């Protein structure tokens, strides 16, 4: 779903909208959807066996076709559940960071505590949480998860290792680090107006099954990722944005397309 942020007399597309519209996820998504269907078949074997044993051929075929149609749509249920867990995990962590009362349902307990453990272990000092940011010059906006002060101890911190730095951190409850979208997203936020003090970026992945936090530093690719993002932004406004927003972009954008 596309999201635009009102700004002055026009609108900025969000970072996630730009990346989503300019990414080809057809191959991995197809593979994932097939896996969801396979998992559904395994979990519903008994029901399928019973349906296949129905003596009346017309009723048997009708019942099996209905079951197969249900299985073909299983990826939507899985996706919705994953998005819901991610959203509620973010919300609970946000409440914790702001010292606000909140509940932690069992299904988000592991990723929630993974985040807290990582924050505590790394003595993270929070500067902002879920803050709307934008780049007036470059015509985009978004909501960054976290801006923090931290002293990196992880091996891929590069020149930031061992010294207090300001980082932009994205929180993810995905099963893996997905590139290039994740680094492009967090490194776009790092270049927002008001983030001139940012010297580091990374993604904190909160494993839903193990409850283990995994951090990946993307500081070393900050500049090139932002250049790549700006190229995608131009493609988005020229090919994907609604007409009025495209016209505003072409009229008001002062940079190089």
Kindly give the residue spans of alpha helices, DSSP state H, lying in 123-176. none
1 in any annotated domain? no
206 in any annotated domain? yes
Res 75: pLDDT: 67
Give the whole-angstrom CA distance, residue 26 versus residue 161. Answer: 38
70 in any annotated domain? no
User: Domain residues for 118?
Assistant: 21-33+77-252
190 in any annotated domain? yes
Q: For the segment 138-177, what is each residue's pLDDT rounded down to a tens digit?
A: 999 999 999 999 999 999 999 999 999 999 999 999 888 9
* Bigger pLDDT: 50 vs 31: 50
Q: For the segment 53-65, what is each residue's pLDDT rounded down to a tens digit?
A: 888 888 888 887 8
Q: What percent of the chain has pLDDT over 70?
A: 91
Res 78: pLDDT: 64
137 in any annotated domain? yes
Q: Which of 60, 37, 28, 48 is nearest to 174 (CA)?
A: 28
Peptide bond just before 180 cis, omega within 30 deg: yes
**What average pLDDT does the segment 203-225 reach?**
95
pTM comes to 0.78
11 in any annotated domain? no
C-alpha distances in Å from residue 97, one per residue of 150, 156, 157, 186, 217? 15, 26, 24, 20, 21
Rg of the chain on CA atoms, in Å: 22
Computed over every residue of the chain, the mean pLDDT equals 88
102 in any annotated domain? yes
Structural domain count, the chain: 1
Output the CA angle 134-135-136, nearest 5 degrees: 110
Q: Judge contact between 188 and 229, C-beta under 8 A.
A: yes
62 in any annotated domain? no
């Amino acid at each position: 779903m596309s999201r635009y942020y009102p700004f002055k007399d026009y609108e900025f597309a969000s970072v996630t909208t730009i990346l989503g519209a300019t990414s080809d996820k057809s191959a991995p998504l197809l593979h994932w959807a097939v896996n969801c269907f396979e998992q559904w078949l395994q979990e519903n074997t008994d029901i399928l066996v019973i349906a296949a044993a129905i003596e009346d051929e017309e009723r048997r075929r009708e019942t099996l076709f209905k079951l197969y149609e249900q299985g073909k749509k299983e990826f939507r249920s899985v996706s919705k559940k994953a998005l819901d867990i991610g959203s509620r995990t973010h919300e609970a962590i946000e409440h914790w960071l702001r010292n606000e009362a909140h509940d932690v349902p069992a299904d988000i307990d592991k990723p929630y505590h993974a985040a807290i453990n990582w924050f505590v272990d790394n003595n993270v000092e929070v500067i902002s949480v879920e803050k709307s940011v934008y780049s007036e010059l470059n015509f985009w906006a978004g909501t960054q998860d976290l801006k923090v002060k931290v002293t990196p101890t992880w091996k891929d911190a590069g020149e930031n290792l061992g010294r207090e730095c300001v980082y932009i951190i994205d929180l993810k409850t995905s099963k893996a680090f997905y590139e290039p979208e994740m680094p492009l997203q967090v490194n776009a936020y790092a270049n927002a107006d008001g983030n001139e003090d940012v010297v580091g970026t990374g993604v904190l992945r909160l494993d839903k099954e193990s409850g283990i936090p995994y951090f990946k530093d993307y500081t070393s690719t900050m500049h090139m990722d932002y250049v790549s993002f700006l190229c995608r932004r131009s493609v988005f406004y020229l090919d994907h944005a609604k007409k009025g927003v495209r016209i505003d972009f072409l009229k008001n954008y002062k940079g190089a397309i």
